[in-house]
Copies of this chain bind each other. A is one copy, B any other.
Amino acid sequence: MIYFRSDYSQGAHPEVMEALMKTNMEHHDGYAMDVHSDHAAELVKELIGVEDCSVYMMIGGTNCNVTTIAAALKPYEGVITPRTGHAYFHEAGAVEATGHRVLTLPPENGKLTPEIIAKAWDEFEDDHTPLPRMVYISQPTESGSLYTKAEMEAISAYCKETNLLLYIDGARLGSALTCDACDFTIKDIPPLCDAFYIGGTKNGALMGEALVILNKDIDDHFRWMIKRQCGMLAKGRLIGVQFEALLEGGEDSLYYRLARETNRLAAKLRDGLTEMGCTFYGTSETNQIFPILPTPVVEALEEDFFFYRWAPEEDGMIPVRFVLGWGSTDADVDALLARIKELL
């Protein structure tokens, strides 16, 4: 079985594991009050080019999203997401569990635009509806698509005009930053939003995400919010140590190298499929590929490859998802392309 199922099917990259081994016997204070967590935060600040912000080592993406949203919103406020957004679609109602509406809008290729966001106000009627107060987007999106710099700027400007906070889910931010289509750097992100996170779990870490909070109001007593949301690890250094290993070196760091390599393999797979005449379900520029394949091809592939069917069969064709991860290899991609060629 060759895995194209997700970018979290293996453990951590060996260099990350090595860092954990090397620091394992050190004694540190608990709850992320340790030098590694501090150092990791410093590396993040350097990378993003902002000193005046807070960086938290979080256990996972859902936890990042929910804790930040709950910290940012007043009880009567809601968060706008694309109907396909992770915070709506894949988090089991964890946002609503904190008492807030997730106001969903229909995205275009996984993305929101100012025009789409504006529709939220059509659903707003004074004190009878929750006040839209935050926009949640993912970069890249759940569909693998990428917001260009201009698109991010447009959303950011719209948010500022209409008193909306902007939060960017960066579960796969590495893939966004290093894909061919990317026309921005990570330093372009902080000026545009109120908070975002740099995903570790899906790019080489065992677990953990680095959450950056730029807006002081959201940051108020944020460690209380983490604890209250059950996301404070006793051995908090566990995440700090990993991000030290991932981020040392900035754009030449392990984090960037892993993402670049993953994108290279994704592009190879995408190009190979395109050459064979495949069409795709939406446009993905990052490490997830969504070809639409004939049902018998999908069924045959399932014998040797592990991946998701992404949408229901239609006219004998099934959209599937192939994801490249830090452990994916040229051999994996070659094997998949060869088999599909055989089957088509």
Contacts and interface: CB of A to CB of B under 8 A. Distances in A.
A90 B231 CA distance: 13
Contacts of A249: none
How many copies of this kind of chain does the complex include?
4
Nearest to A59: B59
Residue in A9, A26, A78 whose Cβ sees the most chain B Cβ within 10 Å: A9
Contacts of A235: 8, 11, 201, 206-207
A164 to B, nearest CB: 15
A91 B8 CA distance: 30
A51 B231 CA distance: 30
Nearest to A227: B92
A230 B66 CA distance: 8
A206 B230 CA distance: 17
Given A11-B238, A24-B12, A228-B75, A129 B93 contact: yes
A115 to B, nearest CB: 16
B96 A100 contact: yes
Interface string A120-144: 0001011111110000000000000
B96 A96 contact: yes
A227 B123 contact: no
A74 interface: yes
A339 to B, nearest CB: 17
Contacts of A97: 75, 98-99, 228-229
A253 B262 CA distance: 40
A59 B8 CA distance: 17
A17 B11 contact: no
A23 to B, nearest CB: 7
Q: Chain A's interface: helix, strand, loop or mixed, by majority?
A: loop
Contact of A9 (B29, B59, B74, B94): B29
B24 A129 contact: no
B91 A128 contact: yes
Contact of A234 (B1, B8, B78, B123): B8
8 closest A-B pairs by beta carbon, nearest first, are A11-B24, A76-B224, A93-B130, A92-B227, A127-B223, A8-B234, A3-B27, A63-B230
30 contacts: A3-B27, A10-B24, A10-B25, A10-B27, A11-B24, A17-B20, A59-B230, A59-B233, A60-B230, A60-B232, A60-B234, A62-B230, A63-B230, A70-B75, A75-B97, A76-B93, A76-B227, A89-B129, A92-B128, A92-B228, A93-B101, A96-B99, A97-B99, A101-B102, A127-B232, A130-B224, A131-B221, A201-B233, A206-B238, A207-B234
Interface of A: 1, 3, 5-6, 8-12, 14, 17, 20-21, 23-31, 59-63, 66-67, 70-71, 74-76, 78, 89-94, 96-102, 104, 123, 125-131, 201-202, 206-207, 220-221, 223-235, 237-238, 306, 327
Given A11-B26, A75-B98, A92-B128, 20 more contacts: A5-B29, A9-B30, A10-B27, A10-B28, A14-B24, A17-B24, A20-B20, A61-B234, A62-B230, A75-B225, A76-B221, A89-B128, A91-B230, A93-B130, A94-B227, A127-B226, A131-B224, A207-B234, A229-B230, A230-B230
